[in-house]
Structure 1
Amino acid sequence: MRMPHAASLALLAALFAAGCDSKGQEAAAPPPRVVLVATVRAVPDVPAVSLPGVIRSRVESDLGFRVSGKVVQRLVDAGAHVAAGQPLAELDPVDLDLQLQQARAELAAATTARDAALNEFKRVASLHNGGWSTGSDLDRQKALADEAVGRLDRATRAVTLAERAHGYATLRADGDGIVTATMCEPGQVMAPGQTAIRVARLNEREAAV
């Protein structure tokens, strides 16, 4: 029995479409994945490397006096443990004592002169207000009072500096540490900033190979 010509064409078209779909599905399939396989085996231990070294402070402070003078005593030796603020060495304070005494004497004199000048200015101002003194007298006395006040200010600063310098005669540790070197001896004259004591700080350490 023969099929109609149109039906034959439809059947062939259906079979061709099915074949194309099958080829498209095969082409769209993902490629196979590559898997790496390794065999587990024991590996000999890597030998440890030992190097000689020392533990040392990361920070070392070179300490020196901030004023010049002659060393009268060194209070620590190399290897000594010191605390922050601890005295390490001292200079002869005779010259610094004299400077401080002179500064204090000038301060006392300047205070007396200031008080006298202000009192005189007040007296002249009172006379001027009553018509018993001229304006030039008042201006002159005011200038003298201003100069006396300036002198007192300078004397006050001089005492502060002298007291500070007197304190610098004692060299103190700037932190906890160990004295690693001493560069001053009694009788030696030290310049400002010259290293007298070296201190290794204890808060930071490092290994040196």
Structure 2
Amino acid sequence: MRALEHSRRGLVLGPWLVVVLSLAACGREDGSGGPQGPGGAGAMPPAPVTVASVEPETIAIEADYTARVRGMRHAEVRARVGGILEERLYEEGAEVAAEAPLFRIDPAPYRIALERARAELANARAALNQAEREWRRVSGLFDQAAISGRERDLALSNRELAQARLAQAEAGVSQAELELGYTTVRAPVPGTTGLEQVTAGNLINVGALLTTVTQLDPVQLRFALPATDAATRRALQDNAAVELGVELYWPDGSVYAHRGQLDYLASNVDPDTGNVVAQAVFPNRERALRPGETVRVRLVVDRLEGVFLLPPEAVSQGAEGPKVFLVTEENTAQARAVRLGPLVGGRQVVLEGLGAGDRVVINGQVALQDGAAVTLEGAGQGAGQGAGDGQG
């Protein structure tokens, strides 16, 4: 009976003994004494990552707006005297200089008026000469007590009246000369002429519109900036302290050859549109820009100094906000909280949280944990590359 009992125990323990001996043999083979020992099959290997070394940059923040082209100056040419319009002296649509003759109004009545004014001037001058002679005679007699003070005062008054009539006659001559000069209608500003509004042979009145002249070099571009734009608010607060350069883009996306300059930024917000009116001036020597057409302008609204540029995918969201992973000298991952700025040229601006020379993980950070061991893959070329020249 005892022998039979021992035999049964051996049958029960046999399989378990084989399992235990097999596990012990495995432990001896890998030299670790167990599956969780150093270098065991369960240890996590270093995570492969790609890093880029970052350096601070100065970038320009730009914004695009729709603008309308306007002539620098647009003047209506109107008649300053009435009469018969005799002749048009310019080619419609031609460039003219300031003071160039455009129309001639019949000058004959104004020549006659000038001659009449000159005759009146001669008469007034003769009367003054007579009054001067009379004054000298009377004042001499008064000094000799030969006449009364009343006669002396009358002579003095006559001389003063003659002087006033002379001044009035001289003003009449000047007015007549001016009106005669107005019979030649001249361009008030340099620019391109418009169509004539009145043809020769018509009787025109003072103020009649004859044509227009538009100055096309330079031109103005007027556009509206949303008041809700943070960059616009900053420009208003700083009174446009930043030197704002403006670029112009044609509808096909090509860039205009000349840069413009912002010369006006309204200090108030339009209550109807919620926009701030701005104006830029562009050279237009080739006359490529025409008043009334619509173009796009790109405006530098701010400059950021000492910031860092990263690929957007390098930034992840943590419990406390945006963060990136850095790689330490010991090749371990270190989470770093950052403060973000805008996206510029497809790159994420980092305002705070990074330093010069930091190695930022730009690939492989999705499942990365703070303090995890990493292994570097590829050669980081700098996270800022690809953002152009740092000008947005």
TM-score (norm 1): 0.70
Residue in 1 aligned with 2:130? Answer: 116
Distance across 2 between alignment mates of 1:156 and 1:111: 10
Residue in 2 aligned with 1:62? Answer: 76
Distance across 2 between alignment mates of 1:195 and 1:182: 9
Describe how 1:86-97 pairs up with structure 2 within 5 A. 86-97=100-111
Residue in 1 aligned with 2:151? Answer: 137
- Which of 139, 150, 155 aligns to 1:125? It is 139
How many equivalent pairs are there? 162
Describe how 1:128-207 pairs up with structure 2 within 5 A. 128-205=142-219
Letter of the 2:178 counterpart: R
Distance across 1 between alignment mates of 2:123 and 2:73: 48
Distance across 2 between alignment mates of 1:135 and 1:55: 75
Letter of the 2:148 counterpart: T
> Are the structure 2 counterparts of residues 139 and 180 from structure 1 closer, same or farther at C-alpha, using a change threshold of 3 Å?
same
Distance across 1 between alignment mates of 2:186 and 2:133: 46
Contact 1:72/1:186, CA 8 A, preserved across alignment:
yes
- Which of 97, 103, 109 aligns to 1:83? It is 97
Distance across 2 between alignment mates of 1:55 and 1:136: 73
TM-score (norm 2): 0.38
1:136-186 Cα shifts (integer Å, max 9, x gaps): 211111111111111111111111111111111111112221112111211
Contact 2:192/2:214, CA 8 A, preserved across alignment:
yes
Tell me by how many angstroms 1:59 deviates.
3.5
Letter of the 2:82 counterpart: S
Q: Is the partner of 2:194 in helix, strand or coil?
A: strand
RMSD of Structure 2 on Structure 1 (CA): 2.6
Contact 2:191/2:214, CA 8 A, preserved across alignment:
yes
Contact 2:96/2:191, CA 8 A, preserved across alignment:
yes
Contact 1:180/1:198, CA 8 A, preserved across alignment:
yes
Contact 2:99/2:186, CA 8 A, preserved across alignment:
yes
Tell me by how many angstroms 1:62 deviates.
1.1
Contact 1:73/1:186, CA 8 A, preserved across alignment:
yes
Letter of the 1:95 counterpart: P
Distance across 2 between alignment mates of 1:181 and 1:79: 7
Between 1:178-187 and 1:112-121, the stretch displaced more is 178-187
Which segments of structure 1 move beyond 6 Å, counting only runs of 4 or more? none
1:62-109 Cα shifts (integer Å, max 9, x gaps): 101211111111111322221111100010011111111111111111
Q: Is the partner of 1:150 in helix, strand or coil?
A: helix
Q: Give the gaps of 5 or more residues in structure 2.
A: 1-48, 51-67, 222-288, 295-392
Q: Is the partner of 2:195 in helix, strand or coil?
A: strand
> Are the structure 2 counterparts of residues 131 and 85 from structure 1 closer, same or farther at C-alpha, using a change threshold of 3 Å?
same
Tell me by how many angstroms 1:56 deviates.
6.5
Tell me the percent identity: 31
Describe how 1:24-43 pairs up with structure 2 within 5 A. none
**Structure whose residues are more often helix by fraction:** 1
Q: Give the gaps of 5 or more residues in structure 1.
A: 1-36, 39-53
**Structure whose residues are more often strand by fraction:** 2
Residue in 1 aligned with 2:4? Answer: none
Larger RCO: Structure 1 or Structure 2 (Cα < 8 Å, ≥ 6 residues apart)? 1
Residue in 2 aligned with 1:98? Answer: 112
> Are the structure 2 counterparts of residues 59 and 135 from structure 1 closer, same or farther at C-alpha, using a change threshold of 3 Å?
closer
Letter of the 1:196 counterpart: L
Residue in 1 aligned with 2:20? Answer: none
Contact 2:75/2:189, CA 8 A, preserved across alignment:
no
